[in-house]
Every structure is written in C-alpha cells, then in structure tokens.
Amino acid sequence: MNENKILDVAIVGYGPVGQTLAILLGRMGYSVAVYERWQSLYPLPRAVFHDHEIRRVFRMMGLEDELQKISQPSACYQWFNADWKVLVEIDWSAESISDGPFGYLFNQPGLEAILDRTAKAIGNVEVHQGWEVLALSQDAQGCELRMQRTPREGEAQTGEERQVRARYVIGADGANSLIRRQCGIDWQDLGFQEDWLVVDLQPKPGIALDVPDIGQWCNPARPTTMVPGGPGYRRWEFMRLPHESMEDLQSTAKVWELLSPWVTPDTATLVRHAVYQFRSRIAQTWRHGRVLLAGDAAHLMPPFMGQGMCSGIRDAWNLSWRLDLIFKGLCDDSLLDSYTLERKPQIRAVIDASVEMGKVVCVADPQKAAERDAAFLAGEVPPLPPFPGLVDGAVFKDPHTGTAVGPAGTLGVHGQIEHEGRNQRFDDAFGRGFHLLSVGDDPLAGLSPAHQALLEHLQVKSVRLSLDGAPGTCRDLSGKYHRYFADAGLQAVLVRPDFYLYGAVSDLGELPQLLDALARDLGIAPTESVTSIHPPLATQV
C-alpha cells in the first residue's frame, strides 16, 4: 500500500466487530484498512448466539442467504434446577420487533469466513493480517500507527515495520487491547469472575442427542450450559468448582467424563475444549480524541445473555453512521462524543443483567441452590427487565430532566410492507438512513422551509404508512407498524440509521420541536441557517 496515503479509518482487530465495521464503512465509499496481528482467522467456535437486532444488521449488509447456511432460529431458553424442574423460560423463538424470531444460534468460524470474504471483495477496504501494532500517536489532523510484521509459524522475525496514517483509528482488538492501553483509558472491573470449561463438538451422522435445545442446568454439583453451536454442532459449558484447579479441567479424559451423561466418543467428535474466565469489565470512556474503542476492547460480560458479540456489532453499527455524517461534512466530530454516552449505559445494563443471571447459575452450594430454587418455583423472583435501550446521547430528551422522552432511545419496529407493487421488508425497500415514519396526515405539509431543509440536509426519507395502500403511502402488510403507533398513541417517529428511535410525536404539531432538538444533538447549525446549505425539499414516499 502507499504509506503516504491518509486513510479515512484504520481498524485494529479483525474479529467480527472489526470485520463488520470495515464492511459498513467500505460500502459507504470510505478508505479503510484493517490490521490484525494473527496471520489467519481464528478457526474454532467462540460466540454461538446473536439476537434479532444483529440479524437485522446482517440482513442490511446483504448476508442473509449465506447466514442461513451457518445459523438456525433459536428455541426456548430454559433454566432447570438439579432435578430438571424449570426455573426460568425465555422464549427466544418468539416473534421479535425486528421481523423474525428473537434469536439465532450460529457457528462463529462460518460467520467470520462470510465477513472475511465480504470485506476483501470491497475495493477500498484493505485487510492486512499478520501485522501487530507497536505504537499509536495522534494529532489534530489524524492518527499514526506503527506496526511490525508478525512471522508465520516456523519463520524468523524479520523486524519489518510499517507506519500508516488515518483520520480515525478504531480499536477492536479485544480484551487485552493495545489501543485502549496506548490511550491510557481505565479498565473498570465490575466484580464477576468465574472459570468455565467450554466444549464444542459435532454429533456423528444420524445421532440425535437427548438434551434440552438451549438450557442452563443450575445443578450445584456442576452448573452446566447446553446450547447449539449452529447447524450440526453442540456446545457444553461446565463451571469450575471451588475445589478444582484450572488444570483439572484441561485433559481430554476429564472432558469426556463431564460429557458422559449425554454424549460419548462413539456419538460425537470433539471439536475443541478450553477453559475461559468469564469476566465483567468496561472501559471508562470509548473515545480518546480521534481514537475509538469497540467490542471486547470496550467491554466484557459473562455469556449468560448471549450478548458479548452482539454488543460489539452494535458498537460498529453505531460508529458507522456517526462517521458517515462526519465524513460527508453534515456534522462535525463532536458527534463522536455521544458514542460513549449512548453505548456505555446500555452496555452497563446488559453487563449487570448478565452478571445477575450468572449469579443464578453459578451456585455451587447445595443450601443456597435450594433457597434459589424455592424462590423461583414459588414465583417470588421478578421476570427479567426488557432489553435496555439508549438513555443519553442523540435521543430526544426532556430539557428539564435530561431523560429520554417516551419511546426515544428504543429499538424501532420493523416489518413487511408493500412498496411500488412489491411485498418486502421495510429495510430492503428503503435502505439505511434517517426515516420519518408516520400514519395519517402528511408530516411534511406543516413544516417550515427551514425544517424541510434540515430533513434534506440529513437525507431523511419520509415514509407514510397505511393499512389499505392509499395513494402516497406504503401498505403496512403485517399491521405491526399500526399496532405500534396505536398502542403508543403516536403519529410519527424519527428513526436513526441504527434502527433506534431519535424520538416520536403524538401530534404532528410537535414535530418542529423534535427536529430542533435533533439538530442540536447532532451539532448542526440552527434550522434557520440550514436553508443556506440546502433548498427546502425532503424525500417523501
């Protein structure tokens, strides 16, 4: 590559988060280079679950057909006590707000292979595997990375180095992130720490295993997780007991001993086994000047909600639309200040929920387990709270309390529509970006030229929905949109490019106030001056 070239973005780390961000920014037309110290992709399974929101992201990336080959819809997630009585049921097979089941089980090496092929097919995306970052510096114009070539197995270190410059650097380089350490960002330990043996295997052809599809066996004698690892694979996870050492769980003989109630070498092939320490940690800030953190470099959590990789993909999705607005000159880079404000509280809530779930599972004391079981079976334990949304940042807030108003910060509904004579998902019809969704009257009719110019400035698409496909509207085939609007008493919602609602109005007369707040939160000039940038015209469907 031309080392004098200034990249738009340099990404350090080429796991699913770095891969996803490279694809998103690359397809927007920006010059992106990714640097990864390992020569090849990690070949063994790690994450096995992604939820409906992440599936929607992958669909927007055009990956649905390939994902179907390496994933399967989730079943009901059940938690059992030692006697196999159900303590908790979480229906991950239920219809989600995103048009499809709540969750999916997948094979991570298969996912990474898909993302790798996709990223490398984009002409303005460079993928450099086998380069380890040694140092990072930045100034007012950009960042500089100094890297060293890592030798292949059996090769001697050559000492070959390279320097590159980029307008922004994204650290997606994992829990031991060099980028985070180079920026001096504090790494807060939230207290949870348990060791678990993770075992992946492949049942032999024709073998049907007699196990719950997705389950936590909360048995104090050995807390155990059983879950699919994508089509054709299964995973078991076994907690290390207080009297055991890490070494006790490392032998293949011990692995088969723990698996013996369900599977044997005659019925399955062992893919891999490793002992992991489940931790809960979070970075103090995710921005340091022109450097931003994403994925495990910014947060770690126990796996009991299946949200580790999902959270990293949300980081990439959130960052991509911010950087897009900045590179287009529609906003200045103060927009990146709200990245931490938005993502950290949501992640902290997810970590806290994962830790609480872990405390339910990781009970090795029989008396405490009996007390836990009695509370659950008596219905004395409240259900899990809904998945957290965004509470700060670029969401519509009450100016006096600073709290999000109504559905602001929640994930927007997604469903099937009829548009221009075709039945399709909304995302397939209108793509990514800001959307003003409404039912009833035309929301643009009463807007001033300045507010219409703001919508044009941000390339907002105004989409009116109806149940009968009236002229100038899209037909709401599933009725999901109309049920959502009616239940919440809304006339219009303003959806951000990451599917979250900036805000909503119950009366179209409130829309100017919402748009003024949006301009302030995005750091755009007051609406009265936007007309000097764009003529007063908004895209309407």
Q: What is the pLDDT of residues 207-260, one digit of tens each?
A: 989 999 999 999 999 999 999 999 999 999 999 999 998 888 989 999 999 999
Backbone conformation region of residue 459, classed left if phi is above 0, alpha if psi is from -120 to 50, else beta = left
d(CA 315, CA 379): 36
CA distance 531 to 533: 5
pLDDT of residue 374: 97
Predicted confidence (pLDDT) at residue 525 exceeds the cutoff of 70: no
Joined tokens for residue 385 = 């709270």
Cβ-proximal residues to 239 (8 Å cutoff; 6+ apart), any chain: 194, 195, 196, 197, 222, 223, 224, 361, 362, 364
Model-level pTM?
A: 0.94
* Confidence band for 519, pLDDT divided at 50, 70 and 90: very high
Q: List pLDDT tens digits, range 41-97.
A: 988 888 999 999 999 999 999 999 999 999 999 999 999 999 999 999 999 999 999
* DSSP-derived secondary structure for 65-107: HHHHHHEEE--EEEEEETT--EEEEEETTSB-TTSSBSEEEE-
Residue with tokens 């295997």: 201
Task: Tell me the two tokens of residue 133.
Answer: 């970052």
Task: List 131's β-bridge partners, or say none.
Answer: 149
Distance CA(91)–CA(353), nearest Å, equals: 17
DSSP β-ladder status, 32-36 and 86-91: unpaired
| Res. 532 pLDDT band, cuts 50 70 90 | very low
Could you report the per-residue pLDDT of 293-333, keeping only the tens digit for each? Answer: 999 999 999 999 999 999 999 999 999 999 999 999 999 99
CB 197 within 8 A of CB 251: no
Domains and CATH numbers, the chain: 6-70+107-185+282-350 (3.50.50.60), 416-540 (3.40.30)
Per-residue pLDDT at 159: 79
Which of 260, 325, 354, 309 is closest to 58 using CA atoms? 309
Instruction: Tell me the β-bridge partners of 146.
Output: 135, 163
Enclosing H/E stretch for 81: strand 76-81
> Does pLDDT of 480 surpass 70?
yes
- Mean local confidence (pLDDT), 336-352: 96
